[in-house]
Amino acid sequence: MYNKSLLSILIGLFLVAFALKKRTPEPKSYIPTPFYRLPVFPTKNDTVALGRLLFYDNILSANNQVSCASCHNSYNAFAHTDHQLSHGIFDSVGTRNAPGLFNLAWQKEFMWDGATHHIEAQALAPLHDTKEMGSNIKALLSKLRASDFYRKAFYDTYKDTIINSNRTLKALAAFELSLVSFESKYDAVKTDNAEFSTQEKAGYKLFKQNCNKCHTEPLFTNGKYMDNNLPIDSSLDDKGRFLVTKQKEDRYKFKVPSLRNLSYTYPYMHDGRFTTLNHVLQHYSSNQNIKNKGKADLEKAIHLSFNERADLISFLLTLNDKNFVFNPAYSFPKKLKDYLIQE
């Protein structure tokens, strides 16, 4: 009888372990370890859910008209399209194009110039920026504490009545960390679940020869700050990373963006100056730009024939992750929608 009980316990433990193993996502072997721990069970994680509410809520802004999603739209891989420069409160126009938000757990620093060193601190920047949300953390907390909706939301998450900056910022960070995009055709090929077409294969070869040094796979960014010879826009004269480090060699350097989801994240570059990928490739093929910026990181022009450009773009399109962009778990939360409709 003792042996039967023990066997039952062991079988039970085995079943539990198997169930847990199934629910915990398997890390893909070609993807490096992230710097941040990913939220466990993101779709059923209360902190992530709270962060998602905050992300989409205009309550963050001084005039209650701008949310994070105003510039980081889920259908654009959380980037800002249709505008070279993102705009915020009272239609204020900023100085940069909001980058896409995905795979943030694999980044050490945030923003085009790496001004934010920790993801929990990132939301403070747009929250306080006079051209983005025009508010501040104190004002936000006052609004959250006065809101029945958020008093309940925080209580449901933390099982007490405390609403503070730590919880608010960490909830936003948790949602942002949950935005993971590794289900493109490229990823399917990497896991032997698909094959590139002939054209895509040719494009991949060109990519590895010309682009991989900076847009290093599988994240398609090396996470570094580089000068890619963009002619200086004198109306902005944005010195990029230099503004953070004050080191002369960092002038006009910006963080290398990921090339994932390019179909959704146009326009391109830190100031949104290129609306199509062909424009981007045209820039990289220009000898003129190399001559003018002798100390830039791009040492020589990338000359591609018309067909080669088509092949390269064909490969780049395999980096689009439709599942990510249209994942209902990341889109406008129904709970918030129902609440706002009531209001």
Partner 1 sequence: MQHLIFFLLVFMNIGFTSAQLKFALAHDSLRYMPIRINQEDSVSLLRFYISNIHIEQGRKIIWEAHKKHYLIDFTQNRLATNIVSGTGLENIKKGRLKFTLGVDHKTASQGIGEGPLDPIQGMYWTWQSGYINFKLEGVSSKCPSRKNRFQLHLGGFQKPFRSAQIIELQITGTRANVVFNIHKFLAEINLREAHSIMSPGEKAVSLMEHAKRCFYVQ
Residue ranges in contact with partner 1 by CB under 8 A: 115-122, 124-125, 127-129, 137-138, 141, 164-166, 169-170, 173, 244-247
- Min CB(164)–partner 1 separation in Å: 7
Instruction: Give the C-alpha distances (Å, rounded to integers) separating 112 from 9, 96, 115, 119, 289.
Output: 54, 8, 8, 14, 21
Strand, coil or helix: 92: coil
Our CB check for partner 1 shows the closer of 8 and 247 to be 247
Q: Please report how close the Cβ of residue 330 comes to partner 1 at its closest, in angstroms.
A: 22
DSSP state of 101: -
CB of 117 to partner 1, least distance (A): 5
**Closer residue to partner 1 (CB): 38 or 125:** 125
**Contact present, 179 and 101 (Cβ < 8 Å):** yes
d(Cα 107, Cα 34) in Å, to the nearest integer?
A: 8
Q: Which is nearer to partner 1, 172 or 256 (CB)?
A: 172
3-class SS of residue 87 = strand
Q: Report in angstroms how near the CB of residue 336 gets to partner 1 at its nearest.
A: 23
Count of CB atoms situated within 10 Å of the CB of 28 = 12
Per DSSP, the residues of 210-272 read HTTTTS-TTTT----EE---PPP-TTT---BTHHHH--GGGTTBEEPPP-TTHHHH-SBSTT-
Residue 172 beta carbon to partner 1: minimum distance, rounded to whole angstroms: 10
CB of 17 to partner 1, least distance (A): 32
How far apart are alpha carbons 237 and 51 in whole angstroms?
Answer: 35
Q: How far apart are CA 104 and CA 176, in angstroms?
A: 7
Q: How far is the CB of 124 from partner 1 (least distance, A)?
A: 4
Which of 73/168 has CB closer to partner 1?
168
**CB nearer partner 1, residue 87 or residue 131:** 131
The smaller minimum CB distance to partner 1, of residues 173 and 219, is found at 173
Nearer of residues 133 and 256 to partner 1, judged by Cβ: 133
List Cβ neighbours of 237 (8 Å cut-off, separation of 6 or more): none
Residue 12 main-chain phi, psi, to 5 deg:
-60, -45
